[in-house]
Amino acid sequence: MSNEKVYKLLKLLVLLLGRLPISVATFCSDLLGLLWFKLDKRHRKVTLDNIEKALGDQMTPFQVMKTGKQVFKNIASIFFEIAWSYGLDRETLLSHFTVKGIEHLESAQAKGRGVMVLAGHLGNFDLNIHAIEETRLKGYGLYRKMDFEPLERLLLDIRQRFGLTMVPIRGASKKLDTILGEGGVVGTLLDQSVDWYRGVFVDFFGRSACTNNGFAALVMRTKTAVVPMCGMRKNRKFVIEFFPEIPLEQTGDRIKDIENNTQNYTTVIESMVRRFPDQYFWVHNRWKIKPYCSFPRK
C-alpha cells in the first residue's frame, strides 16, 4: 500500500475516532489504559519504579499503584483527545482551554529576544502547545520527526492546522536563531533522558538525570527568555498556566553555566510534576543513564 493510501486511511480512522461521544471515548480510553497497564509488564515496572523513586516517601504502596494506573489511563486518553480535537475549529478548541499567566509570556516577548516556552510531558502535552495561539503571537513547536512518513504527515496536519509551525529538532539551530531573533515564541519539552555525551547530569526528584544540554546552550547563545508552562486536563477541559521568566545564569564558565541553567529548568519542571503526578509521563525511564563513576583502586 502506498504512503498516500496509508495516510488517507489513518486520517479516516482519526476522524471516526473523534466522532465518538465523549462518554464512550472516555470509557474506551480508560479500558485501553488499564489493559495496557495489566499486559505491558516492562512499562508497568518502569512507571511504578519511577513513581516510587520520586514520590515514594509521600505515597503508600496503594497510592503508587493507583497513580500508576491513572498514568496509563491518561496516556491512552491523549490519542482520543487528539482525534476529538481534529474535528474542531480553532475557536471551539480554544474554548476548552483556560489560560493563566499570559502576562508573563507577553512581558518576556516584549523584550524582543524571542521566548522559549518550557514544558514537560504533563497532561495532554501534544495539545497544550495550542495555548500559545491564545496569545495571538506567532507560535512554533520543536518536535522529533517520525520515520513513518504517513503518520508524520498526519501529525503535522493536526498540529499545524491553526497556524502553529512545527520545527524538527535535528538541524534546528540556525532556524531557531532566526525565529527567536524575530521575536518568535517556541515551545519545547525538556524532561527526557539523553545519552551522556548529549547532556549534563542534574537533580530530578533527588536523583541524577541526564538532561539535554542543547536547550541551555541555545538560550545562552541567543539570550532569549525562558517562560515555563504547566498544563493539566480534566474531562476535555485544559488548564494552561505560564509562570515568570526563569533568569539566565551567566558567570563566564560555559560548562558550569550550562549545568546550572539546565538544573534551574529541571527544577521548575519537577515542581509542575509534583502538582499533578498522575498526569506525568512516568513510562519513560528518566534515570536510565547513570553518572560516570570510576572503579575504585585495589
- Per residue in 200-231, pLDDT (tens digit) is 999 999 999 999 999 999 999 999 999 999 99
What pLDDT was estimated at residue 295?
Answer: 44
Lowest mean pLDDT among 1-5, 133-137, 288-292: 133-137
Beta strands 225-234 and 237-242, pairing class: antiparallel
**What does the mean pLDDT of the chain come to?**
92
- Does the pLDDT at position 297 exceed 90? no
E strand map for the chain: 97-100, 115-119, 139-143, 165-168, 185-189, 199-204, 207-212, 225-234, 237-242
Strands 115-119 and 225-234, bridge-based pairing: parallel
pLDDT tens profile 22-73: 999 999 999 999 999 999 999 999 999 999 999 999 999 999 999 999 999 9
Domain coverage including residue 19: 3-279
d(CA 155, CA 2): 18
Considering the domain boundaries, does residue 297 fall inside one? no
Q: Is 256 helix (H, G, I), strand (E, B) or coil?
A: helix
Contacting residues for 120 by C-beta, under 8 A, at least 6 apart: 189, 190, 191, 269, 272, 273, 280, 281
Residue 93 belongs to some domain of the structure: yes
Distance CA 33, CA 223 (A): 42
Dihedral angle computed from the Cα positions of residues 211, 111, 161 and 237, in that order, rounded to the nearest 10 degrees:
70
Give the residue among 238, 239, 261 at the shortest CA–CA distance from 251.
261
Distance CA 233, CA 237 (A): 5
* Cell numbers at 276, concatenated: 499533578
Instruction: Pick the closest to residue 189 from 164, 211, 161, 220 (CA basis).
Output: 211
Residue 33 lies in a domain: yes
Q: How far apart are CA 81 and CA 235, in angstroms?
A: 10
pLDDT of residue 163: 85
Q: Is 292 part of any domain?
A: no
User: Residue 70, by phi and psi: left (phi above 0), alpha (psi -120 to 50) or beta?
Assistant: alpha
Reported as a pLDDT band with limits 50, 70 and 90, residue 294 is very low
pTM (2 decimals)?
0.93
298 has pLDDT over 60: no
Structural domain contains residue 295: no
d(CA 12, CA 17) in angstroms, rounded, equals 9
Which tens digit of pLDDT belongs to each residue from 127-166?
887 777 666 677 899 999 998 999 999 999 999 988 889 9
- In this structure, the dihedral spanned by the alpha carbons of residues 36, 234, 286 and 190, taken in order and rounded to 10 degrees, is 140
Q: Which of 135, 125, 109 is nearest to 159 (CA)?
A: 125
pLDDT at 171 over 70: yes
User: Quick check: is 81 in a domain?
Assistant: yes
pLDDT at position 138 is: 77
**Number of independent structural domains in the chain:** 1
87 lies in some domain: yes
Instruction: Concatenate the DSSP letters of all residues of 21-87 into one string.
Output: -HHHHHHHHHHHHHHHHHH-HHHHHHHHHHHHHHHTTTS-HHHHHHHHHHHHHHHHHHHHHHHHHHT
- The answer as to whether 136 is a domain residue is yes
Most confident of 43-57, 82-96, 100-114: 43-57
Going by C-beta distance under 8 Å and a sequence separation of 6 or more, which residues neighbour residue 99?
A: 131, 134, 135, 240, 241, 242
pLDDT tens per residue across span 266-275: 999 999 999 9
